[in-house]
Amino acid sequence: MKIFKTTIVLLVVFAVLFGYYFYESKTNKPVKEDNKIFTFRNNDVNSLKIEKEGKTLIDFKKEGDTWFIKEPIDYKADSIYVDELLDSLTSLTFDRTLEGDLSTYGLDKPSYAIKVSLKNEKNYSLFIGNKSPVKENYQEGYYVKTDGGKIYRVNASSLENFFLTDDYLYKYMEKFVVSIPKNEITKLVFYQDGKEYQIQKGEKDNWQIDGKAIKADDVDNLLDGIVLLQISGLDKGKNISQGETSFAFDVYGKDKVEKISFAKRNAENKYVLVNGHCIGQYVTLKDIKNLQDTLNKLIK
């Protein structure tokens, strides 16, 4: 019986060693400093798309220096998070190259695909397959491949940004409601309880409300409240075209006007419309009230 148990243990050890030998023989470690998968830079990219099982989750396009979400909504993107995605892609390194059938690594039907196009009109793709059963330096990994067909093992943590969570759309949306920079605002028109208040910047940068001079600090607080107003969430698929009239405001810049209004959502939030358009984004009632309080101090 003792001999039988010893034999079983030896067989298990042999199986583990054989598996490791097979893994080592079918893979190659990269030469140090020569393990980047892509050579392009963030600034070279003008579109980025993430697909899951063939379906587009999100599609970004760059217009000038500004990133926009084009699918599944049309909205300005938060450039910080887009850059984070690009960093994950352009800095992606592999710890092994592999050989064999794509189905072995789940790459015949990859779960995710990341596709980019560059300013020079070249296109690149990264396809993500199965999770690797073998850890490399105690780190988990995934099998990936590029358009060229090469198969790599990469660190799992380097792909985390591409596995989008349920609230990913809100994450990648621009959070600021007003896009006109503070120093370019020349006029504000507020609508509150059936009354209209005009706050305008003079030639000498002095501000007036309905023709009366007001303190620069008071206007500064109001401007801060406007340009720092941010959305706090998104009800995907919600479309609203009619705002309430109890409180709204227009922001005038050098070459455009943004009309901001609100609609009911619940006791804590209101939908925010920009130029009569809302795709379900909302702001907190607290932020709206703070803005109203700042305005009321000026009109007393």
Alpha-carbon Rg of the chain, whole angstroms?
Answer: 28
270-294 tens-digit pLDDT: 999 999 999 999 999 999 999 999 9
Reply yes or no on whether the pLDDT at 27 is more than 80. no
Reply yes or no on whether the pLDDT at 10 is more than 80. no
Q: In the predicted model, what is the mean pLDDT of residues 200-204?
A: 86
From 30-44, 135-149, 174-188, the region with the lowest mean pLDDT: 30-44
As to burial, measured by CB atoms within 10 angstroms (0-12 exposed, 13-18 middle, 19+ buried), residue 237 is exposed
d(CA 145, CA 149) in angstroms, rounded, equals 6
Question: What is the pLDDT at residue 17?
Answer: 41
pTM of the model: 0.83
d(CA 273, CA 142) in angstroms, rounded, equals 42
Q: In the predicted model, what is the mean pLDDT of residues 231-239?
A: 95
How does 54-78 read in b/e, with b if 16+ C-beta sit within 10 Å?
eeebbbbbbeeeebbbbeebebebb
Q: What angle do CA 201, 204, 207 make, to 5 degrees?
A: 30
From 26-35, 143-152, 156-165, 258-267, the region with the lowest mean pLDDT: 26-35
Handedness of CA 71, 284, 193, 184 (dihedral sign): negative
As to burial, measured by CB atoms within 10 angstroms (0-12 exposed, 13-18 middle, 19+ buried), residue 243 is buried
Instruction: Give the pLDDT band of residue 263 (cuts 50, 70, 90).
Output: very high
Reply yes or no on whether the pLDDT at 129 is more than 50. yes
Instruction: Give the pLDDT band of residue 243 (cuts 50, 70, 90).
Output: confident
Q: If you average pLDDT over every residue of the chain, what do you get?
A: 89
The owner of tokens 């779960």 is 111
Q: What percentage of the chain reaches a pLDDT higher than 70?
A: 89
Question: What is the pLDDT at residue 212?
Answer: 87
Question: What is the pLDDT at residue 7?
Answer: 56
Q: What are the boundaries of each domain within the chain? A: 27-172, 182-299
Angle between helices 285-299 and 216-227 in degrees, nearest 10: 160
Residues contacting 107, CB < 8 A, separation 6+:
127, 129, 130, 143, 144, 145, 151
- How many Cα atoms within 13 Å fall on the side-chain side of residue 279? 14
Backbone φ and ψ for 73, nearest 5 degrees, come out as: -130, 165
Residue 279 vs residues 232, 271, 285: alpha-carbon distances, Å: 13, 9, 18
The owner of tokens 């509150």 is 192
The single-letter code of the amino acid at 115 is K
Q: In the predicted model, what is the mean pLDDT of residues 139-153?
A: 94
The more confident residue out of 19 and 216 is 216
Residues 86 and 48 sit within 8 Å (Cβ to Cβ): yes
Residues 214 and 221 sit within 8 Å (Cβ to Cβ): no
